[in-house]
Amino acid sequence: MFLKHFAFVFSFFVVVAAQAQEAPDVLIQQVTDEVLEIIRKDKDIQGGNAQKVIDLVEKKVLPHFNFSHMTALALGKEWRKASPQQQQQLTQEFKTLLVRTYSNALTGYKNQKVVYKPFKMAAGETDVLVRTEVLQPGSKPVQLDYSLEKLDAGWKVYDVVVAGISLVTNYRDQFAQEVRSGGIDGLVASISTKNKSLEATVAKADKK
Amino acid sequence: MTARRGFFSLHKCLRHLLACILVIAWVGDSIAEGGAHDPLEGFNRAMFSVNEAVDGYAVKPVAQVYDRIVPLPAKVGVGNFFGNAGDLWIGINSALQGKFSDAGSDIGRLLINSTVGILGLFDVASELGLDKHDEDFGQTLAVWGVADGVYLFFPVIGPRTVRDTFGWALDSYSDPLRAVVSVPVRNSLLATRIVDVRAGLLPADKVVDEGALDKYSYIRGAYLQRRRNQVFDGRPPRLDD
């Protein structure tokens, strides 16, 4: 009995360790396939249930993202001038905004197919780009690339690039604008306001 | 009949264009030094709100109806038809950028899809492995070394840099739909194309509306990044920061 438990726990650790060591392209492919498979089977998500898709993203996708790096990248030079507390608040709000926005995009998922481009990586590399393409009938393929970095906890995504548009650096001008007018705290406040208004619309839509 | 007159004025147009390129290159460089892409922001924002209104009241509702009532195979056919009509100009631009094997493939696509693909309604060439490319004269100018220049927001046609405005002018001039003699047919085709393109952008609307702190800046950033990506055929060199 004890041995059986031990074997189970041991195999669990092996799986976790293997995931952390996973090559970045394999990681992207596994997570993408898993999430799309769930969406394909879930009628609620296809029907536009925003909360359900947000839960899915938080559980399956977020563990593979490095949001403080993303936020630093979106803020640019100002990041180093922010206090640790401001950095943390900003990261939290930006994370909420990105998750809400792009989770919603997943509810529109219908019949698309993801193709993984050939991936090569030199030994010891710690910063890579994994390239994929989303195919959908009747429209041009959409390029979807992920920038990943190697941390102690494994490979983490720090940027997502859709059709050449970085979801992170595309915030740079807007962040700079807000910081100019209200400082870092002003920026935190305006993202927070945006999040609250989105939350209100999600709640309203789910009630219907 | 119109082809000959078209050719002569094309020649003249090219000469004017060359002069313009020199001017844009100069303006573009002097602005790039300042690091600001958008010195006309006030004007641009005004045009942006005009466009938002036009889109919200006219173009977007039509695109939404089109998207809802037209069955997928028909939408695919429409997209393929306009795509095929654009492949000659794409091929010319590939060649102008020195990508001759791409150009050959573009012309091959045009020949295959216009015949086997029944006037372009079916994209047989892609299934045969001839991938569609994404080229226009603005990209060709960029490859020739012309800088972006100032960012502009036009009513109706939307964002363009100065370079891409000239590119767009020549793209429109060489548009095969202009060769359609019957005015009602031509206008219907042009309108359908606008609706088709707008319908393709509908999924992006929600992301922009929900994700942007300032929609104008968000679209400006997205436009500039996307153009850079197109110029480098999907592999832009990394910008270090």
Q: Which helix (H) or strand (E) holds B28?
A: helix B2-34
Domain count, chain A: 1
A140, B214: Cβ pair inside 8 Å? no
| Model pLDDT for residues A9-54, shown as the tens digit of each residue | 666 555 555 555 689 999 999 999 999 899 888 888 888 788 888 8
**B217 contacts in chain A (CB < 8 Å):** 173-174, 177
Q: Does the structure show a pLDDT above 80 at B78?
A: yes
Name the DSSP class of B128: T
Half-sphere exposure of B112 (CA within 13 A, CB side): 18
Confidence (pLDDT) at A6: 63
Q: What type of residue is A66?
A: N
Q: How many other CB atoms are found less than 10 A from the CB of residue A139?
A: 17
Asked if the C-beta of B236 comes within 8 angstroms of chain A's C-beta atoms, the answer is yes
Q: Does the structure show a pLDDT above 70 at B13?
A: no
Nearest chain A residue (CA) to B36: A173
How far A170 CA lies from chain B's nearest CA (Å)? Answer: 5
Mean per-residue pLDDT, A179-185: 94
| Model pLDDT for residues B33-49, shown as the tens digit of each residue | 334 689 999 999 999 99
Q: Check which CATH number belongs to the domain holding A114 and give it.
A: 3.10.450.710
Task: Point out the residue among B76, B134, B210 whose CB comes nearest to the CB of A101.
Answer: B210
Asked if the C-beta of A199 comes within 8 angstroms of chain B's C-beta atoms, the answer is no
Mean per-residue pLDDT, A157-183: 93
ipTM confidence:
0.83
Name the DSSP class of B179: G
Range from A143-147, A188-192, A198-202 carrying the lowest mean pLDDT: A198-202
In terms of Cα–Cα distance, which of B156, B228, B163 is closest to B197? B156
**B136 contacts in chain A (CB < 8 Å):** none
Asked if the C-beta of B129 comes within 8 angstroms of chain A's C-beta atoms, the answer is no
Task: Point out the residue among B76, B134, B211 whose CB comes nearest to the CB of A137.
Answer: B76
**A76 contacts in chain B (CB < 8 Å):** 241
Name the DSSP class of A76: T
Asked if the C-beta of B201 comes within 8 angstroms of chain A's C-beta atoms, the answer is no
Confidence (pLDDT) at B138: 97
Name the DSSP class of B70: S
A170, B203: Cβ pair inside 8 Å? no
Confidence (pLDDT) at B29: 47
| Model pLDDT for residues B150-207, shown as the tens digit of each residue | 999 998 889 999 999 999 999 999 999 988 989 999 999 999 999 998 998 888 888 8
The predicted model scores a pTM of 0.83
**B214 contacts in chain A (CB < 8 Å):** 174, 177
* Helix, strand, coil percentages for chain B (3-state, nearest 5): 75, 5, 25
A170, B221: Cβ pair inside 8 Å? yes
Picking from B78, B198, B206, B225 by the largest number of A CB atoms within 10 A of its own CB, the best residue to mutate is: B225
Number of A to B CB contacts under 8 A, please give it: 75
Asked if the C-beta of A198 comes within 8 angstroms of chain B's C-beta atoms, the answer is yes
Confidence (pLDDT) at B168: 96
Asked if the C-beta of A164 comes within 8 angstroms of chain B's C-beta atoms, the answer is yes
Strand partners, A160: A146
Q: Does the structure show a pLDDT above 90 at B125?
A: yes
DSSP letters, B71-88, are -HHHHHHHHHHHHHHHHH
Confidence (pLDDT) at B1: 40
The parent domain of residue A13 ranges over: 2-207
Confidence (pLDDT) at A104: 74
